[in-house]
Structure 1
């Protein structure tokens, strides 16, 4: 086994690294990383339905889709993430317990009453501190999990808070649980870095032939290529969302504005605009302009700068309109 510790807080790079290790490394791998504030959404989720878009935009929070299924998770520098990328015999992957047990062992040794509960959660006193997910590729399994250590839980709540009335779809939904930080349950305080050291030491004791691995220049170039072509792209992070219907209404100076949309693979297939605003041009023209566009805030904002929105909706600003689109 090779053990790798990330030296970047870039979520797109760290998530891309997991794919690189899964698909390119013959050896079993253990990977530890910490991300800047970000939301990591599951492979089969509607990204927009999982996030508080205004809060995410205001706080420059990255949204990155991962390879594995499951629900959306909030990352920040108080959250440690671990990944096992392992060969599995006969392509039959075991349950989540196998690769979460080393984490439990370390925490129990530190005096924390941590347990495996449900399908894929680690808890302390009934509160979740770790969610885990997995995917497979050619006889290998990638299982990874979060470890809330000193995460800013109010930020987590705000970033993942979304209006349930906006979306009607069949995408996988995140289940919100009561959460806690590991640091709140330690008898003797330690730092996140010390926890990381304890985990990697324990894993290396289990897998006695393990060694610390540093990425080569070619490794880094390959990962950066994945970042550039996939994990930093709207098409992957948002456009890969399953089909969904979106409905939202807001009150503006010009009156009430409501939008209903059908979105497929991130593209607006149908859109209807309703409201009690006044106009001098037919709103159907605006609907036609929006049909076929990505449900992408930046691109729609650019389109709005090229038209006279006032002629379609008196006293409704572009910011108002973006507010009802997202």
Structure 2
């Protein structure tokens, strides 16, 4: 097995691009292992509705990356206390969805550290009924990647904040995350470890499970290709948000002027249809607003921009434009 050196990069869009590039372009006769640590980020499953998984306002405020990965499963939070591992191997129908095969050597290392760890459910590693790792897989048909997270010292408060969705009612065809009781590995260790110490111990433990590792450093040309993939895919709104499945949103709120009830249909991240209901009194027909909003990206900035020169009081009465924008995008949840 060859260990890919990611050169200490912590940008999630680069690391995910590196992972996919290695999967599709490296020697098909070799197995590879990749470790990486990401700065604060939410990694969305391939088939998920991004807006249904994140607290968008909090994510923007904290500058947390939101990146979609190529594998399925649920949304996960990464930070500097979380170590990610990735096995890249030939596609094998017996290995696909066989999470036990790829987690077994990791679990052995954790046991050597004194953790009574085991694979529970479909794809989670647990200690004392608490989830400390989640795994996922993706196959091209010829090659496959089996990757996962290891929570060493992750800020679990941020996990709750970043993944606490503050939206109205969403009816989506996306694969929704199932929140599990999570814990950090450090909670179960007698001797505390830094993320680098943990990475070294894990790598040494995995050495024992196979032939000696060979370290591989990408060439400048390969890094150029990785960055190109990052720019063309992992840094784009279309990949991270626009690939979300079709979904319907119902946002409603009672103001002093009456209730405004919005029904919004979004497809591939764009507003396809809007219907505005309520018991408010306005001079202008809300159909004009509905038509104005159709066709734009379902992003708060885009909604604000399209309404920049619109006096919403003519449609609803005495409410502020920011209140209406917040309703369109944020729903009726209290901050």
> Same fold by TM-score, threshold 0.5 exceeded?
yes
In 2, Cα distance between equivalents of 1:92 and 1:183: 30
Deviation sequence 1:156-215 (CA, Å, 0-9, x none) = 012112258521122111111100000010022211111101112223343325211222
Q: Is residue 48 of structure 1 aligned with residue 51 of structure 2?
A: yes
Worse overlay, 270-279 or 142-151: 270-279
Listed as ranges, the matches of 1:45-124 within 5 Å are: 45-89=48-92, 93=96, 95-124=98-127
SS of equivalent to 1:102? helix
Contact kept in structure 2, 1:102 and 1:199, CA below 8 Å: no
Question: Offset of 1:49 from its aligned partner?
Answer: 0.7
Relative to 1, partners in 2 of residues 1:316 and 1:71: Cα closer, same or farther, differing over 3 Å? same
Listed as ranges, the matches of 1:150-229 within 5 Å are: 150-162=153-165, 166-229=169-232
Is this contact kept in 2: 1:239–1:265, CA < 8 A? yes
Q: Are residue 24 (structure 1) and residue 25 (structure 2) matched?
A: yes
When residues 159 and 90 of structure 1 are mapped into structure 2, their CA distance, relative to the original with a 3 A threshold, is closer
- The 5 A counterparts of 1:242-257 are 242-252=245-255, 255-257=258-260
Q: CA contact under 8 A between 2:131 and 2:181: conserved in structure 1?
A: yes
Query: Which deviates more from structure 2 when the two are superposed, residues 262-271 or residues 88-97?
Result: 88-97
Unmatched segments (≥5 aa) in structure 1 = none
Structure 1 165/294 Cα, relative in aligned 2: closer, same or farther at 3 Å? closer
Q: Secondary structure at the residue paired with 1:213?
A: strand
Q: State the 4+ residue runs in structure 1 displaced beyond 4 angstroms.
A: 89-92, 251-255
RMSD: 2.0
Cα distance in 2 for partners of 1:171, 1:306 equals: 34
SS of alignment partner, residue 281 of structure 1: coil
- Output one character per residue of 1:239-290: Cα deviation in whole Å (capped at 9) or x when no partner: 1011111111234565533311111222211111233444332211111011
CA deviation profile, 1:60-97 (whole Å, cap 9, x unmatched): 22211110011111111111111111113468636001
User: Do the aligned partners of 2:91 and 2:140 also contact (CA within 8 Å) in 1?
Assistant: no
Q: Do the aligned residues in 2 keep the contact of 1:90 with 1:139 (CA within 8 Å)?
A: no
* Pick aligned residue for 2:293 from 290, 301, 318: 290
Instruction: Give aligned pairs, total.
Output: 326
Which residue is equivalent to 1:134?
A: 137
> Is the contact made by 1:262 and 1:268 (CA closer than 8 Å) also made in structure 2?
yes
Q: TM-score, with normalisation over the residues of structure 1?
A: 0.93
Distance 2:19 2:256 in 1: 48
Tell me if the contact between 1:84 and 1:143 (Cα under 8 Å) persists in the aligned partners: yes
